[in-house]
Structures are given as structure tokens and as C-alpha cells.
Amino acid sequence: MTSFESRVAMGVGGGLLGAALTAMGLLVMVSVRLHGALVVLFLVPVLLGASWSAFVRQARRERDPGVAQLLMLALVLKLVGSMVRYLVAVYVYEGSADAMAYHDYGERLAMSFRAGEFHTGLESLSDTNFIRFFTGVLYTVTGPSIHAGFLLYAWLAFWGMFYMYRAFTIAVPDGNRLSYARLLFFLPSMLYWPSSIGKEAWMLFALGLTAFGTARLLTGRPWRGLAVAGIGLYLAMLVRPHVAGIAGMGLVVAYLFARPPRRLGAAGPMVKALALVALIGLAVLMLGKTQSYLLDKGIDPAEGVNSVLAESARRTGQGGSSFAAPSAVSSPVKLPLAAVTILFRPFLFEAHNAQVAVTALESTLLLCLTISRRRSVWQAIRHPRRRPYVAFVVVYMTGFVFAFSTIANFGILARERTQLLPFFMVLLAIPARRRAPAPPAPVDDREGRGHAERQLARA
């Protein structure tokens, strides 16, 4: 058996083992009908055990056994974050959180599904309705346990982060993997916000698949990468078509910068051209989905960009964490200011309660880290052909900042930017190229000989 065949066999075996452990754990939980804290005590070890084989395989890919322990610690903290998110939703927000509404609807759907009634009553299976439907499907398997819902959505989000990490190791082989892993897996926002029943966890998973497929596409596996990226974009379109459209644009631009795979020889340019045609077709499809999504939200793109931005600002500028004058990008000149708002606000002086203060502290630390690594960020952006994945990251970031620049609420801003931070962290983990040391200045032979003669005369 060749090394490639052995890796495939190990990957399939580990995946089947993980799936078997997950299925057995869920079946036991359903048959015993666990509730409350018992669900947590039972389900957490099942999810950890089902994930371990994937962590070991990743450690073997990197030839670093410490990677498996780091990923396991990250998953443990992610599941803890989901329980913290649950407690905040119940005791701080007193149940008035989106996750609680998704849970209630999913519980009703699960009861209908188990009774053999499969009419959902939903107008469509997209946007908010899809999360309701997916929660109902989960509860049909696990039983209507809100603890299981929070844990499984957090687990789903973690796998999106895992695939983003894999994408980084593939597409940026000279990058600082440990630095990226620490930022991606242990940043408080990433542990907390996309760890509940809701759109953020689903989108993080979909974007993770998209990033992984993009990395494969840009590093010589065009059809395999295109298939995985296409699945990720489709899953993202189910919930947020405009974000999927932004990622699709980034994928097309990055592929334009990528060189044809050398192993294909003379057929490389033809394969690239065919893949590019497929990508453009996918982008056109997503553009139509985005337009339909905006119309369903009561926003008419035909009325112009400014009207769309104004409507978004009006919808988000409510609640206790709202702030005045969001940095809407009405022209390219305002893009840098909007990027600062999306990535680094609230500032410390804008914190008016404990929750905003925690977010402000994290934003300040991230801003300081960005300033300290500004040289590496600038060098990475300047040479996209050297790393086409960076082009994907930059285009996605630019589109995301434009689309979300009108958010006028710090709570919504902190939650939504978890779809942006994993890509921004790529720039922070790319090492700066050091300048080669200047060659020594030439020495005048006559001056050197004269100096030597004077030294001998003194001796």
C-alpha cells in the first residue's frame, strides 16, 4: 500500500470512527432521555471522543504531536463557551435571545417530525427559517434539549474554525501556524459568540468549508477544491446569500492570481480556464440569490447603494448597545474608517457596561497586535500573486466591511465580525520578509596596505 493510499485509509477510518461514536452517543442519549445538566455531562465526552481522531491526523500532517493537544483544548473551551452563552441568554437576557426563539420553534418541529408530520409551516428553507428547520432536525435526533442544541451548534462552528486552520496550513505553508491557531481558537469572541443556536455557528462552518476548498483550489487541486468550496458556498447561501456572494468574489479573484498547477504541464492553463468558467457561473448564481435575499428583506438594490446602507443602519441602530454615526462606505475613501469600525470598535472609552467593556478590551488588544505587525500585513497585501489565498482574504474582507459598515450596534457588530476575524487573522500570522543584510563596503587596498605598514613600523 502506497503512502497516499495509507493516508486515505487512515482518513476514512478515522472519519467513520468519529461518525460511529457520535451516532452511538446520540442514540444512547435519546433512548435514556437525558435532560438538563445530564445532557452536558454525557454529550461533551462523546463530542470530544468523536473529534480526537481528526486531531491526531492533523498532528501527523504537521509532524507535531502538540497540535492534537492544542486542538483538543480549543474544543473543550469552545464547548465551555457554549454553556456560558446559554447562561447569559437565560439569566442576563432573560430568555430574549434569538437562540431561545430558534429552540422553541425547533422543539415544535421535532414533535411534528417524530409524529410523522413533515409539514414545517415555513414559507421557505432559507435565512432564519433554515436555522429553525435545522434545529428541528437536530432535536428529532437528540430530543428537544436546549443544552444539546447549544453544544452541537458550537461543535459545528468549531469544525468551521478547524477547516479554516487547515486552509491556512495548506495555502500559507510559510505562515506562523501556532500564532494563527492561538488567535483563531482562543480569541474570546470566537469562543463565545458563534457558540449558540443561531446563524453565526452555521455561517462559520460554511465559511470554513469555503476557505478549505479555496486553499485546495489554489494549491493544485482544482476540481476537488472547487467541489468543497462549492458545498461551503451553497451552505452559506442557505442562511446569508450576500456573505456567500462576497466569498465567491474573493474565490474568483484569488484564482485569477493563482498560477496553473505545474504537475498538469501544458494542460494547466486549459484546466485553469475551465475552472474559472465554473467559478464565474457560480458567482452569477450567487449574485441572483443575493438580490432575491435583499428583496425578501424589504431592500431594493435597484434603489441604489445609499438606500440599502441607510436601511441597514436604521434596522441595527436600536437597543442599549447602539451607537451614532456608523461608518457607512458610500465611497472608497471611507473604506479605511469603516474597516477600523468593523474590526476594532468599540474602543475602551466607548464601553458603557461590562459586556461592551470586555469586547472593547479585546478590540484594543487586537488593534495593538495589528499595529505591531503592520509590516507583515502590508507585505502580504502587496504581493497577492505570491500567496493567492491572501487575495481571497483581502477581497472577502473588503466586501464584508462594505456590507456590514452600517451596523450601528456594538453587540451586533461583535457577533457579526466573527465571520471576518478568522480571515483577518491570516494577515497577522504571515511573517514579514526580512531585508537581506547589506554587503560590506569595499576596502581600499592602498589604505589597507598603508595601515598594515604603520602597524609593523610601530611594532
CB 282 within 8 A of CB 225: no
Residue 29's pLDDT is what?
55
Place of cell 451548534: 153
What burial class does residue 270 get, using C-beta atoms within 10 Å of its C-beta: 0-12 exposed, 13-18 middle, 19+ buried? exposed
Residue 383's pLDDT is what?
82
Residue 304's pLDDT is what?
44
CB 191 within 8 A of CB 197: no
What average pLDDT does the segment 36-45 reach?
78
Q: Residues 281-292: pLDDT tens digits?
A: 766 776 666 666
For residue 452, pLDDT over 50 is answered with no
Q: CA-to-CA distance for 291 and 297, rounded, in angstroms?
A: 10
The whole-chain average pLDDT of the chain stands at 82
For residue 46, pLDDT over 60 is answered with yes
CB 225 within 8 A of CB 216: yes
Residue 459's pLDDT is what?
45
In percent, how much of the chain has pLDDT > 70? 73
For residue 297, pLDDT over 60 is answered with no
Out of 92-106, 198-212, 216-230, 364-378, give the one with best mean pLDDT.
198-212
CB 196 within 8 A of CB 85: yes
Q: Which pLDDT band holds residue 2 (cuts at 50, 70, 90)?
A: low
Q: CA-to-CA distance for 285 and 302, rounded, in angstroms?
A: 18
In the three-class reduction of DSSP (H, G, I as helix; E, B as strand; rest coil), residue 322 is classed as strand
For residue 260, pLDDT over 80 is answered with no
Q: Name the residue among 16, 103, 27, 1 with its Cα closest to residue 53.
A: 16
Q: Residues 152-165: pLDDT tens digits?
A: 999 999 999 999 99
Q: CA-to-CA distance for 69 and 188, rounded, in angstroms?
A: 19
| Residue-range domain boundaries for the chain | 25-96+145-261+268-428
Residue 65 CA, distance from chain mean position: 24
Instruction: Name the DSSP class of 409.
Output: B
What average pLDDT does the segment 271-277 reach?
69
What pTM does this model have?
0.85
- Residues paired with residue 409 on neighbouring β-strands, in sequence order: 322
For residue 445, pLDDT over 50 is answered with no
Residue 396's pLDDT is what?
95
CB 160 within 8 A of CB 421: no
Out of 30-44, 224-238, 306-320, give the one with best mean pLDDT.
224-238
